[in-house]
Structure 1
Amino acid sequence: MLQPEQDTPTWRIYETLLQATPDLSYVFDLQHRFIYANKALLTMWGMSWDEAIGKTCLEIGYEPWHAAMHDREIEQVIATRQPIRGDVPFPHATLGVRIYDYIFTPVIGPDGQVEAIAGSTRDVTERKRHEQHQQLLINELNHRVKNTLATVQSIARQTLRSAAGLEDANAKIEERLVALASAHDILTRENWHSADIRDLAQSTMDAYGTPGQFQLAGDSCRLDPRRALALAMALHELGTNAAKYGALSSREGRVCLQWSSTDLDGDPRIEVVWQEYGGPAVHEPAQRGFGSRLLERGLKHDLGGGVELAFAPDGVRCHLWMPQPNLEEGQLT
């Protein structure tokens, strides 16, 4: 270690502090050689002081680009007498590559000239990772908000186009936004990774009927956020239609909602079937409303699969299918 001319109490205090800190502390002479390095820095190098004393960064084992960068910075500190700061990746002897924030500061002698360059370096790897993760979350949130606003805009536009009047439009928009919010609640509980079809089905059952009117059948089957939202809105439209005109408009009516994972010629997919029975006789609608268009067109696009909607006399049947999502890759809505 660098030793003062006299072993004073002040020096022992400074030395104790420098050796105790987890930060890397060191001093270069004007020839860019290390004349002091604390324990944390020697540990990072995997060297003893006897092996490191008097060596330059390049001689210590720094990559040539790294050593050259510090050589330029040392000369800049000497020339400007001003500190310089930066951050750089460096391979730790036991922890792997870490990110270090450092500052070089001129040591001014009695004659007013720079006589050495003191340095302090801090491991900021975790902070950098946190910042990157935070930025990723912000980007994901922005993406999700934009998609949600686009969905709300589409709901409002399509509902207003087909509504009987302002009061009817207000009621339908509110119902659809409540359904969208419910799906968001389910995804939020799962940190927006995925949602189980059973949870989506249960939400629909709670909104439109009693347990006695619904039969839910299917094992745990998870969807990525985009498909989960699409299915939630589809179930809302089916439930609304069933409550107004179909099986759920009478006490005797029933809905069977079942789902399963299947394999079609080596292509894994998820199938969902909504089947109504026991309600009033069903008639083919004269024209397709927003709900039907959402099911037959928009849903097919959002699911990346197919939809078959049939207005059979004994009850509406909706059969939809989609590729088995790869939840390991993670997908934004």
Structure 2
Amino acid sequence: MHEHEHDTAKWRIYEALLQATPDLSYVFDLQHRFIYANKALLDMWGMRWEEAAGKTCLELGYAPWHAAMHDDEIEQVIATRRPVRGEVPFPHTTEGTRVYDYIFTPVFGPDGQVEAIAGSTRDITERTRHAEHLQLLVNELNHRVKNTLATVQSIARQTFANADGMDDACGKIEERLLALASAHDVLTRENWHSADVAELARGLAAQGRFDARQFEVQGESCRIDPRRAMALAMALHELCANAARHGALSTPDGSVHIAWQRNRRGDGEELELVWRERGGPQVQPPAQRGFGSRLLERGLKHDMGGNVDLAFEPEGVTFRVSIPLPDDAHEVDR
């Protein structure tokens, strides 16, 4: 094969590769005019090569600032004989603005001088969006971890302050942390968007610690935001733990009825949930409020942004909580 034929064959191979790649490939001459553009770049421009050949960026419709930036970069490559790399947004004819990473590199002639500038550009829009989304997730994770650690700190401090010895404290802390972890599991499955009240309530009977027949759960699917979901999950745990120690769940004949419904509230809606115990020992109001009672009456009211009522009625504990629902609660359900 003659040298000319060999060079022609190599060019056919290079041309095939350049036309097949999804990256944008092109060459400028020393006057900043396009002397080559592959199919991907022509498609982005919405042009045929005959329309683009020999034109500069400005003549092809690039924004003046964009064309001027590339003019400066081409001159920099010629002067320094080194590649230049950058990142730039570009309005695509069919897909809106995309973000591109590009490199301009010198092409040296037989005399060692720069005779052209070759360029390659890659669409990094999805990668950029993914990186931004990942950073948002990291920021959210940091926020959630800090909030969770603050919750754990509060649980530990309050539990030890009100416990009857170390064994009692360790047992209660473990139970409360398990309840916290269970709520986290529910929210994680929903990407921390919301949690279904039905799943939180029915999860109590499915824990295996109690006879599921002692629970009666009634209510339609209704989603609440992560903060309220965590607060409600901890409240249900405290009610369950108290019922197991002193209330309806401390005897095989006792039962717990959990029901909720949506009610109109001014221009919006609220969720009203009621926990009612029956069939257990006669209830005596506690001489002093422990951590669980304070969490139900004060902490939950703060976290829920609604109203709570904890009543130690002789026939069984009754707890009511109202939770404001967002305007799009129905949409979330779907």
TM-score by length of 1: 0.93
SS of 1:57 mapped into structure 2? coil
1:228 matched to 2:247? The reply is no
Equivalent residue number for residue 148 of structure 2: 148
Equivalent residue letter for 1:291: G
Equivalent residue letter for 1:33: R
SS of 1:229 mapped into structure 2? helix
Equivalent residue number for residue 122 of structure 1: 122
Equivalent residue number for residue 262 of structure 2: 261
Distance 2:234 2:328 in 1: 21
Equivalent residue number for residue 25 of structure 2: 25
* 1:61-92 alpha-carbon deviations (Å, 9 max, x no partner): 11111111111111111111110111111122
1:91 matched to 2:120? The reply is no
Inter-CA distance 153–327: structure 2 relative to 1 (3 Å threshold) = farther
1:67 matched to 2:71? The reply is no
Equivalent residue number for residue 165 of structure 2: 165
Equivalent residue number for residue 76 of structure 1: 76
Unaligned 5+ runs, structure 1: none
Distance 1:39 1:148 in 2: 53
Distance 1:161 1:79 in 2: 74
Distance 2:204 2:212 in 1: 11
Deviation at 1:35, TM superposition (A): 1.2
Equivalent residue letter for 2:153: Q
Distance 1:134 1:27 in 2: 35
Runs of 4 or more consecutive aligned structure 1 residues displaced over 3 Å after TM superposition: 325-328
Greater CA drift, 236-245 or 246-255? 246-255
Q: How does 1:36-75 map to 2 (within 5 A)?
A: 36-75=36-75
Deviation at 1:326, TM superposition (A): 5.6
Number of residue equivalences: 326
Equivalent residue number for residue 252 of structure 2: 251
Inter-CA distance 327–159: structure 2 relative to 1 (3 Å threshold) = farther
Equivalent residue number for residue 102 of structure 2: 102
Deviation at 1:212, TM superposition (A): 2.3
Distance 1:15 1:209 in 2: 72
Equivalent residue letter for 2:311: A
Distance 2:224 2:268 in 1: 16
Deviation at 1:147, TM superposition (A): 1.4
Whether the aligned pair in 1 keeps the contact of 2:268 and 2:327 (CA below 8 Å) is: no
Distance 2:328 2:204 in 1: 24
Distance 2:267 2:22 in 1: 56
SS of 1:85 mapped into structure 2? strand
Distance 2:211 2:7 in 1: 86
Equivalent residue number for residue 293 of structure 2: 292
Distance 2:236 2:137 in 1: 29
Greater CA drift, 40-49 or 204-213? 204-213
* 1:157-182 alpha-carbon deviations (Å, 9 max, x no partner): 11111112111111110110111111
SS of 2:59 mapped into structure 1? helix
SS of 1:8 mapped into structure 2? helix
Distance 2:328 2:77 in 1: 51
Equivalent residue letter for 1:49: W
Distance 2:99 2:132 in 1: 13
Unaligned 5+ runs, structure 2: none
Distance 1:315 1:196 in 2: 26
Distance 1:273 1:156 in 2: 28
Equivalent residue letter for 1:258: A
Distance 1:236 1:243 in 2: 10
SS of 1:164 mapped into structure 2? coil
1:197 matched to 2:197? The reply is yes
Deviation at 1:94, TM superposition (A): 2.1
Distance 2:217 2:19 in 1: 66
Deviation at 1:197, TM superposition (A): 1.2
Distance 1:242 1:34 in 2: 80
Distance 2:259 2:50 in 1: 74
Deviation at 1:7, TM superposition (A): 7.8
Distance 1:148 1:256 in 2: 29
Distance 1:22 1:63 in 2: 23
SS of 2:85 mapped into structure 1? strand
Distance 1:42 1:212 in 2: 70
Whether the aligned pair in 2 keeps the contact of 1:193 and 1:327 (CA below 8 Å) is: no
Equivalent residue letter for 2:189: R
SS of 1:192 mapped into structure 2? coil
Distance 2:328 2:152 in 1: 26
TM-score by length of 2: 0.92
Distance 2:297 2:106 in 1: 72
